[in-house]
Amino acid sequence: MNRNNDKLLFTPGPLTTSMTTKVAMMRDLGSRDFEFIEQVKFIRERLLQLAGVSVEAGYESIIMQGSGTFGIEAVISSVIPDDGHLLVIINGVYGERISRMASIHRIHQSSLRFAENEVPDIAVVKEFLHENTDITHVAVIHCETTTGIINPIHEIGQLCAEAGKVFIVDAMSSFGAYPVDLQASGIHFLISSSNKCIEGVPGFSFVIAQREQLMSGEYNARTLSLDLFAQWKGLELNGQFRFTPPTHALLAFAAALAGLELEGGVAGRAKRYIENYEALAAGMKELGFREYLIPEHRGYIITCFHYPEDSSFDFVSFYEALNERGFVIYPGKLSEVNCFRIGNIGHINRQDIHNLVRAVGEVLAEKGILMDKREA
């Protein structure tokens, strides 16, 4: 892989990016330049293709300046009417964040909480929807980055369709590497970000929206800058953003989309990420690390590992030692268990994973950390 001498990022984003993507940013385009407008049009069309939908099928793509959280809040604050009732299905930090957004915008909400290492119980969700008929919208995370768990969005979406609910999916860490059938899963709004599995750089999020539901929210916005309908309307009117767009990030994203296509699309990218995960899981197990999730709940985006049992293990010094060797991992965010996370996504491959695992082994030996390999 062609890259410069940057440290390798084994995180859920921002990610290690290709040299082609980096180079694409090394030019200046005006936000109203016809060439830039054409790039934006290309990106919006390509996003729909990646989602397996089209304008003709009744879907739209909307680009929103800011991180993925901006895109999530744009949807939450724009599509739920004053008399709406949001159900948030939570099994991690990012589900809790959606609930917090709803609270700030004074949206009537209910929450279904599950343990961080458990997928939502479909029977419980079904019963809750049956007992709370005034619920209008349901939101869930696809890949809950807290642990890397993959939630059953297809099954939840079918329940929403049967009950006539609007279904919102945070696909921040999965879109571009996990196939998702929006129509079959009854997804009305899917949100992701430029710096995740498509391997662009930070700067914007995007929403794949069912047009009918998007249009119904024309007057629901609770903010000016995050007004999803107004953002879409402006892009449709003249291809321009309402406010200053992240021009360089969009140019990088166009290059990243081309790279995704060259790799074989979603299937090709998933193949590499799966290979990365398998190499990581095998290597870390050999060192004595235990994964937090049970096998049937694990995804291949990010992997969560328990701290070693050795009481002398200190994550900060462990992290710093890896960082000095050129490998950047990610702290855990679990409420009850000490864990750290390693991302399998970005412009990295199996050899990079092998190099990381070797470095982990070196750090353990350097610091005299004893591992119990019998339980790994």
The CATH T-level fold of domain 19-261 is Aspartate Aminotransferase; domain 2 (3.40.640)
Amino acid 5: pLDDT: 78
**pLDDT tens-digit series, residues 12-33:** 889 999 999 999 999 999 999 9
pTM for the model stands at 0.96
Amino acid 255: pLDDT: 97
pLDDT band of residue 333 (cuts 50, 70, 90) is low
Amino acid 332: pLDDT: 67
Mean pLDDT, residues 285-296 taken together: 96
SS (H, E, C) the chain: CCCCCCCEECCCCCCCCCHHHHHHCCCCCCCCCHHHHHHHHHHHHHHHHHCCCCCCCCEEEEEEECCHHHHHHHHHHHHCCCCCCEEEEECCHHHHHHHHHHHHCCCCEEEEECCCCCCCCHHHHHHHHHHCCCCCEEEEECEECCCCEECCHHHHHHHHHHHCCEEEEECCCCECCECCCCCCCCCCEEEEECCCCCCCCCCEEEEEEEHHHHHHCCCCCCCCCCCHHHHHHHHHHHCCCCCCCCHHHHHHHHHHHHHHHHCCHHHHHHHHHHHHHHHHHHHHHHHCCCECCCHHHECCCEEEEECCCCCCCCHHHHHHHHHHCCEECEECCCCCCCEEEEECCCCCCHHHHHHHHHHHHHHHHHHCCCCCCCCC
pLDDT band of residue 3 (cuts 50, 70, 90) is low
Mean pLDDT, residues 68-74 taken together: 98
Mean pLDDT, residues 228-247 taken together: 96
- pLDDT of 202 strictly over 80: yes
- pLDDT of 376 strictly over 90: no
Mean pLDDT, residues 190-212 taken together: 98
The CATH T-level fold of domain 265-367 is Aspartate Aminotransferase, domain 1 (3.90.1150)
- pLDDT of 8 strictly over 90: yes
pLDDT more than 70, % of the chain? 97
Average pLDDT, the chain: 95
Q: Domain locations in the chain?
A: 19-261, 265-367
